[in-house]
């Protein structure tokens, strides 16, 4: 479910957050599904439990999960999360596209690149 990429420059807790967000947003983790305990996921990934706790705390703060005292962490049932995440991602894309434009990347180059990516995903 969660794979850590030690070549990724992002901190491990951010990788965990991103992976859980993706699993929740694409429906792989359904609402009210219980997440692995902090301790068990830390053991499974061979990382410090504080790293998992930090990721879970951030996921809860951003509305992706909720915690139940003594029972664990669960996926939040919130339809607006998908829309919020899409809006956030499109805003980030707009910023990146603006940067591309500023450094001279043409619309044609961007369109070809986007088409290539979508074709790879569909395979």
The domain segmentation of the chain, as residue ranges, is: 12-75, 80-122
Is residue 17 very low, low, confident or very high in pLDDT (cuts 50, 70, 90)? Answer: very high
From residue 27, alpha-carbon distances to 22, 32, 82, 92 in Å are 8, 12, 10, 22
CB neighbours of residue 66 within 10 Å:
14
Is residue 8 very low, low, confident or very high in pLDDT (cuts 50, 70, 90)? Answer: very high
Report whether pLDDT(80) > 90. no
| Cβ burial 80-111 (10 Å sphere, 16+ → b, else e) | ebeeebeeeeeeeeeeeeeeeeeeeeeeeeee
How much is the pTM? 0.75
What is the rounded average pLDDT for all residues in the chain? 92
Predicted pLDDT at 16: 97
Backbone angles phi, psi at 109, to 5 degrees: -60, -40
Tokens standing for residue 116: 């290539």
Report whether pLDDT(14) > 90. yes
Q: Which CATH number fits domain 12-75: 3.40.50.300, 2.60.40.10, 1.10.287.990, 1.10.10.10?
A: 1.10.10.10
Report whether pLDDT(101) > 70. yes
């Amino acid at each position: 479910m969660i794979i850590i990429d030690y070549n990724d420059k992002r901190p491990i807790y951010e990788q965990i957050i991103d992976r859980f967000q993706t699993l929740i947003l694409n429906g792989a983790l359904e609402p009210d599904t219980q997440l692995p305990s902090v301790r068990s996921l830390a053991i499974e990934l061979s990382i410090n439990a504080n790293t998992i706790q930090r990721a879970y705390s951030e996921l809860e703060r951003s509305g992706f999960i909720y915690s139940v005292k003594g029972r664990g962490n669960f996926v939040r049932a919130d339809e607006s999360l998908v829309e919020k995440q899409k809006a956030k991602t499109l805003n980030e894309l707009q910023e990146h596209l603006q940067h591309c434009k500023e450094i001279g990347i043409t619309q044609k180059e961007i369109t070809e690149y986007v088409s290539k990516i979508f074709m790879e995903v569909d395979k």
